[in-house]
Amino acid sequence: MRSLHNIALIFSFIVITKSDQKCRERDLGIEGRSITRDPPDASSYVAYTTTRAGKRFEKSNGRIQAFSRLQKELNDFNRNEENENEGPFWTRTTLVLNQNNRYQTIHGFGGSVTDAAAYNWNKLSERTKHNFISSYFGEDGLEYNLIRTPIGGADFSTHPYTYNEYPWNDAALTNFTFTYEDLFLKIPMIKYIQRVSKQEVKVMASTWSPPVWMKTNEHITGFSQLKPEFYQSFADYHVKFMELYEKAEIDIWALTTTNEPINGIIPFVTFNSLGWFPAEMMENADSDSIKYIDGIAVHYYGNFAPATIFDELQNRYNKILLATEACEGPMPWDVMRVKLGSWERAHRYTKNIIEDLNHHVTGWIDWNLCLDERGGPNWAYNFVDAPIMVIPERDEFIKQPMFYAMGHFSKFIPRGSQRISVTYPFLEFGRIDNVAFRTPQGNIVLVLHNSNTFEMDVRINVDAIRHITIKVEAESIITMEINTRLF
């Protein structure tokens, strides 16, 4: 589930063409809300603010200012000297939007339907189950449009398992069948999501471990590689999975054939894995294989390399870059695996998503859609945090700050949006995390993340003659949808 910088090829990235409401509060020091999106009128914007102090998608709106009102303000804004009406120079900044500089196209945002997520969800009443799915995938929710699901079991299962475990050495996979987890947990949850969503929800799938008879150590965990005599069987394993899910009317859009291949190489991973050395993967890829690979999957954990590494990958391969797993609390030094109400964890999510999107990543998939209060179930005791925690004995679920952080992207950056450039003027010292997109509707969506403990005054130069000024609260996330049309 996690490793150091994990970069795994997405093999056969298959693409198949097919009123605000307040939630019940729990005493966590935060207030929960679902949200509707209000399209901005011409020459105006709508902003949605979430703060550490407790705002959740609080709406505000304003007009784009014309240049005729700008000149004196611009001179005052860029002065280096301070006065009683201004804060220090590092508390103000200017962002310049350039719609002509366009980059990657967005595929979407979402979360993972694991055994654990479906197990927890299935314990809720029918009404609460519906509210849960609507919170993530509904029009009044975050409008997720991507799902990732394990092929067979993962550590977030109640027990380790694979498909076709018997008969031993069954290279033809004559006993490849659905498991209980498919029939009663994952498939019902995915089907429910498809019914609730008003848009296409694309499904990708990943293998944690094949049947152990395919592996050199013949165990679900530990140092292992795929036995060479079962390379074709391993390929067939994925085809049979897609065929079974197609019978359940679930099309698989993309595959990664091994989740985090380094986990089968490093000695301390104690959950389902399969190891691949980079050289070994290259040996099994002839010179023409790269044309059959549409994308590269990247993960959130232990990423000590800068996000600029994605620029190099994009320049070298020109493939889809997709972030396919993230969670908080997974590392050995995480004293608290679950930390209810943590703004710091929402801050790390937001910062990572903005960095990824600014370096050619086309979408971002969270890990478990929900977990229990312990951070499971997980057969390997590898408990972690999640944006939603389920408490079945009270028939309730808790939306954490990470949930709202995800929504600042998934709710407002629709599939098909294109990233545009955001720059700072020369000699501008103030900085704020940002990323901007032009949507298929022609609007601009700008996400601002102020991680500072002080308020920021931000001027947004929409074009050469118009601008917006906005105050960004301390420790906050703002998503702005800007309609730049004049009429």
Which residues are part of the catalytic machinery? 260, 325
Please, are residues 352 and 447 in contact by the beta-carbon 8 Å criterion?
no
Q: Quick one: tokens of 424? A: 């700072």
DSSP notation for 360-418: TEEEEEEEES-EETTS---TT------SEEEEGGGTEEEE-HHHHHHHHHHTTS-TT-E
Q: Which of 266, 138, 122, 101 is nearest to 185 (CA)?
A: 122
CA distances 484 to 58, 439, 461, Å, are: 22, 12, 11
Please, are residues 460 and 446 in contact by the beta-carbon 8 Å criterion?
yes
Residues recorded for the chain: 487
DSSP state of 112: E
Beta-carbon neighbour count of residue 287 at 10 Å? 6
Q: Quick one: tokens of 346? A: 């929402």
Q: Which of 86, 31, 38 is nearest to 53 (CA)?
A: 31
Q: What phi-psi label fits residue 152: left (phi over 0), alpha (psi between -120 and 50 degrees) or beta? A: left
Measure the CA–CA gap between 380 and 357, rounded to whole angstroms.
Answer: 32
- CA–chain centroid gap for 74, Å, is 37
Radius of gyration (C-alpha) of the chain in whole angstroms: 23
Measure the CA–CA gap between 368 and 388, rounded to whole angstroms.
Answer: 9
Secondary structure element (H or E) that encloses residue 129, with its range? helix 126-137
Measure the CA–CA gap between 339 and 329, rounded to whole angstroms.
Answer: 8
CA distances 43 to 96, 466, 483, Å, are: 17, 9, 6
Q: Which of 457, 455, 456, 434 is nearest to 446 (CA)?
A: 434
Beta-carbon neighbour count of residue 56 at 10 Å? 21
DSSP notation for 140-188: TTT---EEEEEES--SSSSS---S---STT-TT-TT----HHIIIIIHH
Please, are residues 314 and 354 in contact by the beta-carbon 8 Å criterion?
no
Bridge partner residues of 108 (DSSP): 363
Bridge partner residues of 149 (DSSP): 205
